[in-house]
Amino acid sequence: MANDVSPMRKPVIVGNWKLYKTQQEAREFFAAFKPLVTAAKHCEIVVAPPFTAIAVCVEVVRGSSIGIAAQDVYWANEGAFTGEVSPRMLIEAGCRAVIIAHSERRQFFGETDESANRKVKAALAVGLTPILCVGETLGEREAGSTKKILERQFRGSLAALTPAEFSRIIMAYEPVWAIGTGRTATPEVAAEAHKFLRDLAAGTFTAEYAACLRILYGGSVKPENIKGLMAQAEIDGALVGGASLDPEHFAAIVNY
């Protein structure tokens, strides 16, 4: 079945480069990638390089529709917070969006729903689009607690958001067991989690806001599985790690 793309839910394909690519490598990537996606009008394209390559990426995508995002942000705009980067700095550098609470941040760097919530609010306050990640671990799925975990992450990370603020976020469902493992969730399993998240959005805000929320799937997305994922009406795009590092693979995903 073709994707029931509501005009209000334009698909978004986000590449998360994680701790890969120097400035030079970023230039080489876009030199190869840009010509492969010039005709792509069906979706928004966003790339999240490491902080040090953001300015170079913004420069080389200028004039195209490709947006640049950061992989994390701190919630204060300035202060004695060694090592952090602020929302205002990301805006100045040319970012449109920022990934928040990626599972690797949760797993290795102490990200919590509470810190994610502060980051979401701080990003929104300067006009950055938060791409908020949620997702259960393998143990949590096997224990049957997927919905409980998703609900806790949803409520904690989005606490005290106004409906207008909520309407500006993008959500990414990233089951931790599928990230970098080659083990993709089946389109049906992903769609079930997306539906659950959308129902939560409807209950917390309104059905109209929920209907406009874009929920991306992330976890071992590849050129070979993107079509099946995007055929699900509940799946509004993808957050792509490993396969976004190669210009041809990422372009094949964009051009699904």
User: Which residues are tagged catalytic?
Assistant: 102, 174
Distance CA 2, CA 57 (A): 33
Number of residues that bind ligand PGA (CB under 6 A): 13
Any contact of residue 236 with ligand PGA (CB under 6 A)?
no
Any contact of residue 240 with ligand PGA (CB under 6 A)?
yes
Using CB under 6 A, which of 37, 85, 239, 254 touches ligand PGA? 239
How many other C-beta atoms are found inside a 10 Å radius of the C-beta of residue 62? 10
Q: Say if residues 136 and 174 touch (Cβ distance below 8 Å).
A: no
The values of phi and psi at residue 48, to 5°, are -110, 95
**What tokens does 133 get?**
């990640």
Q: Say if residues 157 and 101 touch (Cβ distance below 8 Å).
A: yes
Distance CA 56, CA 40 (A): 22
The window from 123-131, 154-162, 215-223, 225-233 that contacts ligand PGA (CB under 6 A) reads 215-223
Distance CA 186, CA 153 (A): 22
Any contact of residue 241 with ligand PGA (CB under 6 A)?
yes
Using CB under 6 A, which of 219, 251, 253, 254 touches ligand PGA? 219
User: Smallest gap, in angstroms, from Cβ of residue 2 to ligand PGA?
Assistant: 24
Any contact of residue 174 with ligand PGA (CB under 6 A)?
yes
Indicate the residue among 26 and 178 with the shorter CB distance to ligand PGA.
178
Indicate the residue among 126 and 252 with the shorter CB distance to ligand PGA.
252
Q: Which residue is nearest to ligand PGA (CB)?
A: 241
Indicate the residue among 159 and 252 with the shorter CB distance to ligand PGA.
252
User: Smallest gap, in angstroms, from Cβ of residue 219 to ligand PGA?
Assistant: 5
The window from 85-93, 118-126, 155-163, 236-244 that contacts ligand PGA (CB under 6 A) reads 236-244
User: Smallest gap, in angstroms, from Cβ of residue 227 to ligand PGA?
Assistant: 16
Using CB under 6 A, which of 60, 69, 215, 221 touches ligand PGA? 221
DSSP string, 31-53: HHHGGGSTT--SSEEEEE--GGG
Three-state secondary structure call for residue 181: coil
What torsion do the CA atoms of 230, 43, 98, 16 make, to the nearest 10 degrees? Answer: 60
Indicate the residue among 132 and 210 with the shorter CB distance to ligand PGA.
132
- In the window 24-43, what residues touch ligand PGA (CB under 6 A)? none
The values of phi and psi at residue 104, to 5°, are -70, -30
Could you list the beta-strand ranges (E) of 80-176: 97-100, 129-134, 170-173
**What tokens does 150 get?**
């998703």
Binding site for ligand PGA (CB under 6 A): 16, 174, 179-180, 218-221, 239-243
